[in-house]
Amino acid sequence: MADVIVVGGGIIGMTAALRLRERGADVVLWTPVGPADTVSAVAAAVWYPTGLAFDPRLLAWAGATYESFRRQAHDGVPGVLMRETRNLERDGATGEPWWAPAAGRVRCLPIAAPWTRELRFAAPMAEMGVYLPWLRDRFERAGGRVVRRRVDRLEEALAEAPVVVNATGLAAGSLCGDPEVHPVRGQIVLVANPGVFVSVRDQSDPATYVHPRTRDVVLGGTFQVDDWNTTPDPATRHAILERCLALVPELAGAPVVGEKVGLRPARRGGPRVEAEKWPGGTVVHAYGHGGAGMTLSWGCADEVARLAL
């Protein structure tokens, strides 16, 4: 019998499993799909607390995650980059944004209308197609085990371990009866990178973002609450390309190399990270991170390990 079973193979589940293993626990990760088929694999995966309001726990997790990715980028971990980032705001906000203490040095610059100010900072990025397999390999090399298994009830895992980490994303809504869990649809377009190296995020509605990776650029996006449709929409694709080209003209002529749709696992009230006694053991819930899974991952993993052990 394992010490802990982690259910869920996305960024939250993988980082939690690795942290638990690093702290000496016998850990088995249950996931119904490989890394490439998780929602995390669709994410642009750029550090930023999308859709979240201030909470001391979130700030702490975001800060710890920022530092973890910054160190990994320095150490040459596959798929991890640091990108200069421009946040173009339109809401007239003044003063330091709540997340700034977690993001190193954040500079505020003047900008012409329709924007009201520009925030500049260096943000970590994880190319999930490379990073998630690296995480899994590191977990297995550390002695963790991965089992391809779908779960219909968390009691299945509790029958095989005294502690279960519930990192099941959207599935947590039914697995633990949480009506606050809901999808937020995100559609992105991928174009070949013509030589762009600065991320840009426009506070429009919907938000527009341009996130350059090594070989391609992630263009977005959408933030469609309670929309379960996972089929790319041609009209949305056209609108994304139009907005992003207006924002970054250097993208003109860049060929489209792909498009994806992902359902962000959001939760009204924010992420749920807490331990709960169940018949047969303890369930440590770690779900509801929405579009900020990468941003909170390593800090959340530390908290999960503390709760589990």
pLDDT in tens, 121-132: 999 999 999 999
Contact of 269 with 199, CB cutoff 8 Å: no
Mean pLDDT estimate for the chain: 97
Contact of 245 with 219, CB cutoff 8 Å: no
Question: What is the rounded distance in angstroms from the CA atom of residue 143 to the CA atom of residue 4?
Answer: 13
Residues of the chain with pLDDT under 50: none
Q: Phi then psi for 215, rounded to 5 degrees?
A: -115, -20
Contact of 211 with 246, CB cutoff 8 Å: no
Considering only CA atoms, which of 59, 281, 257 is closest in space to residue 165? 281
Kindly report the CATH number that applies to the domain delimited by 4-308. Answer: 3.30.9.10
What local confidence, expressed as pLDDT, does residue 152 receive?
97
* pLDDT tens by residue, 126-163: 999 999 999 999 999 999 999 999 999 999 999 999 99
Considering only CA atoms, which of 157, 144, 124 is closest in space to residue 18? 144
Question: What is the rounded distance in angstroms from the CA atom of residue 174 to the CA atom of residue 176?
Answer: 6
C-alpha distances in angstroms, 234 versus 239, 245, 261, 267? 9, 17, 12, 28
C-alpha distances in angstroms, 136 versus 122, 235, 277? 27, 36, 28
Provide the residue ranges of all domains of the chain, joining segments of one domain with +.
Answer: 4-308
> At which residue do the structure tokens 């642009």 appear?
44
What local confidence, expressed as pLDDT, does residue 309 receive?
95
Question: What is the rounded distance in angstroms from the CA atom of residue 139 to the CA atom of residue 309?
Answer: 18
DSSP label of 179? T
What local confidence, expressed as pLDDT, does residue 17 receive?
98
Contact of 77 with 90, CB cutoff 8 Å: no
Considering only CA atoms, which of 301, 303, 293, 211 is closest in space to residue 251? 211
